[in-house]
Amino acid sequence: MTPHEIASARPADTRKRKKSMNPRILAAVSIVAFAGCASKADPTEVLERPAISSARSPWVQARSPEGLSLLEAPATVVGAAESEAALAVPFAARIDTVRVRIGDKVAKGAPLLDVVMPEVVGAAGRLAAARVRIDVHGQRKARLEALKEHGLVRLADLAEVEAALGEAKAERLVARAILAGAGIGENEAGRLLSGSGTVPLRSPVAGVVVAIDAPLGSVREAGGVPLVRVAGEAGGRVVARMSGPIPDGAALSFVAGSGEPVPLTPISTSPRIDPRDGTRELFLEPDRPLPSGTAGVLRISTPPELGAVAIPSLSLLFEGGEAFVFRQSGEGAERVIVRVLSSSGIDALVSGELKSGDSVAADAVHFAAATAEDAHD
């Protein structure tokens, strides 16, 4: 190809390259060209950036805390120890008589069933025998001591009687312990020997019989499956799980389903934090008995005079030991100091000069950084 032909071919090649050039590259080239032109402007000319305004910053409105999830927490009624009883035999026993049926209401101390416990009956027999030996050896010791004053008794005889008396008293103590383990007093031991040898098992709480597993004639080992279960009528305490503290002056209540709120009084807070969700257990006392196992919510109500409002947690900025927010004021913003009553990962409950309906910066840290950048420029 001649030089003339090469020269004539260049414009066509250039046109092809321009047609194939990516629009994004053209935009980048234009920006660079504009920047080059701007660098040639008068160096004394300063481009001033406008201050941050509400049009350039995201704002959210402070709202009433009613219905805020932060002011509700899952709660359950946990029964006291006397709200349930499970009767089992302390020694190996044979079921002789069942006195109640499922669903029966029973009083505290009412006999529920009769059992025969051979070890207990044997203890009653040893107690009776020990009493006899104690009486006999005691009388003999008294006679020997009377003769001792006249030198008519040997010390060995007196020592033998005292040893036998000590053994009898020790046997009585062992028998008493076994009977006490079965809930039988020493004065009741004679009834076991003179009667059928049955021992009544009594309900330790007042309530309703909810389960019976005691076939007549069956033999159960000590500490086995409970024979009878009684659901007590004693109320329990409310246990709630919260991630933050309760606001000062707040009213607490327990609500189950569509029922009416039950006022609560805080008792204590667990020092342990659940690593799964960062919550603590809060223990509260209801003003009236609540059935054990009832599930509901702990509702926290702030008094109107507290002037609490809810805002996003990100709207808070902490500096110098104080918490504040950026409240929209005209085209700019002003700092407003607030008191944090409670906070979660999403919302925060605050009080102070902030009112419901006021617009605050959605992200206080981002807003402060942007404001500082504008001031620097």
DSSP states of 16-46: HHHHHS-HHHHHHHHHHHHHHHHHTS-TT--
Say how far apart CA 218 and CA 228 lie, in whole Å: 14
The model carries a pTM of 0.57
Per-residue pLDDT of 194-227, as tens digits, reads: 877 888 999 999 999 999 999 999 999 998 899 9
CATH topology of domain 118-181: Helix Hairpins (1.10.287)
- CATH pick for 82-112+202-234 out of 3.40.50.620, 3.40.640.10, 3.30.2130.10, 2.40.50.100: 2.40.50.100
The structural domains of the chain, with segments of one domain joined by +, span 69-80+235-304, 82-112+202-234, 118-181, 307-376
CATH architecture entry for 69-80+235-304: Beta Barrel (2.40)
CATH topology of domain 307-376: 2.40.420
Closest CA to 99 of 198, 247, 245: 198
Tell me if residue 55 falls in helix, strand or coil: coil
What does the pLDDT profile of the chain (377 residues) look like in tens digits? 444 444 444 444 444 444 444 433 333 333 333 333 333 333 323 333 344 444 456 899 888 877 665 678 899 999 888 788 999 999 999 999 999 999 999 999 999 999 999 999 999 999 999 999 999 999 998 888 888 877 787 888 888 999 999 999 999 999 999 999 888 888 888 888 887 788 899 999 999 999 999 999 999 999 889 999 999 877 789 999 987 777 777 889 999 877 789 999 999 999 998 888 788 899 999 998 888 888 999 988 877 767 788 889 899 999 888 898 999 988 788 899 998 887 766 888 888 888 888 899 999 888 888 887 776 66
Per-residue pLDDT of 43-80, as tens digits, reads: 323 333 344 444 456 899 888 877 665 678 899 999 88
Residue 88 CA from chain centroid, whole number: 30
